[in-house]
Structure 1
Amino acid sequence: MLLFSSWAKTMTAFQLFRRTAVITLTLLLAACASSGDSPTGTPSEVQEIQSQLLGDMPLPAASKIIGSDSLIIGRGDNWVGRVVLSGVQTPTDIYAFFQAEYPKAGWTTISAVKSKTSILVFTKGDRTSTVEVNEGSFGGPKTIITITASPKNANVVAPTKK
């Protein structure tokens, strides 16, 4: 009888541990969920807002700006900074989109590297755009897209040693 009593206490402790683990895992997954800080509205309204912000830079369908990770200075065809987007397509599809659609919008491809973190570099007039494509996280978007825009001939001064 003593052996059965000890086994019953062990099962109760195991069940308590299992329930605690399930609750903890659920809370962690909820904390990793998207913050939802991108523009809201109908798909056409969201597309219009993104076009006003980013101008002549085509974006993949259903991609959304992650405002907390983005810094957009200016708007339209002359903005500079970094915009981070969540994408619903695979990284390979997103990469193919930028490779096909940016040249159609008048951008010239300077460099394109397809890898785990893919990088595409484009120029148009006096502007440069770098597109970084990464796989998203578990439970989040399929793809994270980072677009950095700047003037092509920005006067960058190399740091000096003191």
Structure 2
Amino acid sequence: MKTMARLAIPAFAALLLAGCGNTTSLPQTQSGDPQQQIDFGLLTDIPIPSGATMDNERSLILGDKDRWTGRVVMKLWKSSSEATAFYLNQMPAFGWEPIMAATSGTSVMSYVRADRAATVQVETGSMWGATVRVTVAQRVGTGATAPAASSYAPAPAQGPAPVLMSPVYSR
């Protein structure tokens, strides 16, 4: 009987955890929000609209605070035009310099901040509201991940140049 109980408890716990959804509620963050770091500890450098939920299956966050790299996928109860306006206004308030914005059915906005770059993509959700994808990474050519200048130059030729042949077609 004790063996049965030992097996039942982990099985019950696994079923209980499996019943949990695949989204996480995110608290709202905006520029000047004093609760931002307390409420939203992983991502302190991007705005999060009120009512946003994170799609855990499609999000990938490596690191935390203002040094993370990855992609955050959120579902919002806002229309795509409201979500686009939110990010157009709030990203600069978080220190991101706008580089480009193409707003339409699917809006794409690009920003830079120090040695990092961010892309915000907003599209109409399939069931409700909008889906927002924020991708942040180290800018190419900055910091420790900068490729060496020689990596862009062609490798020096060693030995005779290869002979390029035209394809042969048969009828």
Q: Percent identity?
A: 29
User: Which of structure 1's runs of 4+ aligned residues deviate more than 2 A?
Assistant: 47-51, 153-158
User: Please, which runs of 5 or more residues in structure 1 have no aligned partner?
Assistant: 1-34
Which of 132, 135, 147 lines up with 2:124 in the alignment?
Answer: 135
Q: Deviations over 1:76-118 (max 9, x none)?
A: 1000011100111000000000101111111100000001111
Which of 126, 132, 137 lines up with 1:145 in the alignment?
Answer: 132
- 1:59 is paired with a residue whose SS is coil
- The count of corresponding residues between Structure 1 and Structure 2 is 120
Q: Which has the higher contact order (CA 8 A, sep 6+)?
A: 1
- 2:103: which partner in 1? 114
What is the Cα deviation at residue 37 of structure 1?
2.4
CA distance in 2 between counterparts of 1:49 and 1:82 reads: 21
Residues 1:85 and 2:71 are matched in the alignment: no
Which of 112, 121, 126 lines up with 2:115 in the alignment?
Answer: 126
- 1:76 is paired with a residue whose SS is coil
Q: Tell me if the contact between 1:39 and 1:49 (Cα under 8 Å) persists in the aligned partners.
A: no
Residues 1:37 and 2:26 are matched in the alignment: no
The alpha-carbon distance between structure 1 residues 43 and 109, as it changes in their structure 2 partners (threshold 3 A), is closer
Structural RMSD (CA)? 2.7
The alpha-carbon distance between structure 1 residues 48 and 137, as it changes in their structure 2 partners (threshold 3 A), is farther
Structure 1-normalised TM-score? 0.65
CA distance in 2 between counterparts of 1:120 and 1:50 reads: 26
CA distance in 2 between counterparts of 1:80 and 1:74 reads: 6
What is the Cα deviation at residue 43 of structure 1?
7.2
CA distance in 2 between counterparts of 1:142 and 1:73 reads: 27
- 2:66 is paired with a residue whose SS is helix
CA distance in 2 between counterparts of 1:114 and 1:49 reads: 32
Structure 2-normalised TM-score? 0.62
- 1:68 is paired with a residue whose SS is coil
CA distance in 2 between counterparts of 1:148 and 1:94 reads: 16
Q: Residue type of the partner of 2:90? A: E
- 1:68: which partner in 2? 57
CA distance in 1 between counterparts of 2:37 and 2:129 reads: 23
